[in-house]
Amino acid sequence: MIALASDHGGFHYKERCKTLLDELGLAWKDFGTTSDESVDYPDFAHAAAEAIQRGECDRGIFICGTGIGISLAANRHKGIRAAACQILEAARMSRLHNDANVLALGERLVDWPLAEKMIRLWLETPFEGGRHERRIGKIEIEE
Nearest residue to 63 via CA among 19, 104, 118: 104
Q: Per-residue pLDDT averaged across 55-66, rounded?
A: 98
The amino acid at 3: A
Residue of 46, 77, 97, 132 marked active site? 97
- CATH number assigned to the domain comprising residue 13: 3.40.1400.10
**Could you read off the pLDDT of 87-135 as tens digits, one per residue?**
999 999 999 999 999 999 999 999 999 999 999 999 999 999 999 999 9
| Residue 143, domain member (yes or no) | no
Has residue 143 got a pLDDT over 90? no
| Residue 26, domain member (yes or no) | yes
Domain holding 30, by residue range, is 2-135
Mean pLDDT of the chain: 97
**Could you read off the pLDDT of 37-47 as tens digits, one per residue?**
999 999 999 99
Residue of 17, 57, 64, 85 marked active site? 64
Calpha distance 44→32 (Å, rounded): 6
Q: Do residues 17 and 5 lie in contact, with contact meaning Cβ atoms separated by under 8 Å?
A: no
pLDDT of residue 142: 77
- Sign of dihedral through CA atoms 3, 85, 106, 70? positive
Q: Maximum Cα–Cα distance for the chain, whole Å?
A: 44
Q: Is 97 tagged catalytic?
A: yes
Give Cα separations from 16 to 23, 83, 115, 135 (angstroms): 11, 20, 10, 34
| Residue 140, domain member (yes or no) | no
- Rounded to 5°, angle at Cα 110 from 7 and 84: 65
- Total domains in the fold of the chain: 1
Q: For the chain, what percent of residues have pLDDT higher than 70?
A: 99
pLDDT of residue 16: 98
Banded pLDDT at 50 (limits 50, 70, 90): very high
pLDDT of residue 141: 85
Q: Per-residue pLDDT averaged across 65-93, rounded?
A: 98
Q: Is 57 tagged catalytic?
A: no
